[in-house]
Structure 1
């Protein structure tokens, strides 16, 4: 998955929602729960499977949720071994 556009991170009681837009069209709408990740395609995966297929099986189950819930102005996760770069910049 590669995205370089604007998006929104919403924190709710039971999940964190990440939406990314290109030219006003949502290209990613993902809800991250304590035990699963669901995308707008109605496909949900347990965290371990999501990490294995999209990130790395070496990542902890709660990696993605913790990453998006950080309250820092800029979050950068660089994993050269697995070819993963995640940058989050908050306005």
Structure 2
């Protein structure tokens, strides 16, 4: 007797999504345009578009951050290369997972401005 096990491919279910105007200005990153923030069960995805083309596609997990413009990195490496090494490891994760309609983070000492205006 043969037993067949069927497993279905579970699609990634979006927990929440919002469109937003997103500004990320650091010494190494410069993005300012419309985008989307998708919250999934195990990660948050941030997409920024310019003229209908994705210019930033970033997936933020509990232990790492991945993007089409750079390889997957742990938060410490991401902070060192894109923000500042003094930042709390999960700073960027907490910032994009906030439920506030307007988020503004300014660090003049390190030349960092992040602004998120959710529609």
Q: What is the TM-score when the length of structure 1 is the normalising length? A: 0.96
Given that residues 56 and 69 in structure 2 are in contact (C-alpha distance below 8 angstroms), is that contact kept between their aligned partners in structure 1? no
Greater length-normalized contact order (CA 8 Å, ≥ 6 residues apart): 2
Q: What is the TM-score when the length of structure 2 is the normalising length? A: 0.74
Report deviation, 1:41.
Answer: 4.5
Where does the alignment leave 5 or more consecutive residues of structure 2 unmatched? 1-28
Match of 2:46 among 9, 12, 18: 18
The superposition leaves residues 25-75 of structure 1 with CA deviations (integer Å, 9 ceiling, x where unpaired) of 000000001110000257100110000000010111110010001111100
Q: Please report the RMSD computed on the Cα atoms of aligned residues, expressed in angstroms.
A: 1.0
The equivalent of 2:101 in structure 1 is 73
Where does the alignment leave 5 or more consecutive residues of structure 1 unmatched? none
Runs of 4+ in structure 1 off by over 3 angstroms are none
The equivalent of 1:50 in structure 2 is 78
The equivalent of 1:29 in structure 2 is 57
- Give the greater-gyration-radius structure (CA): 2
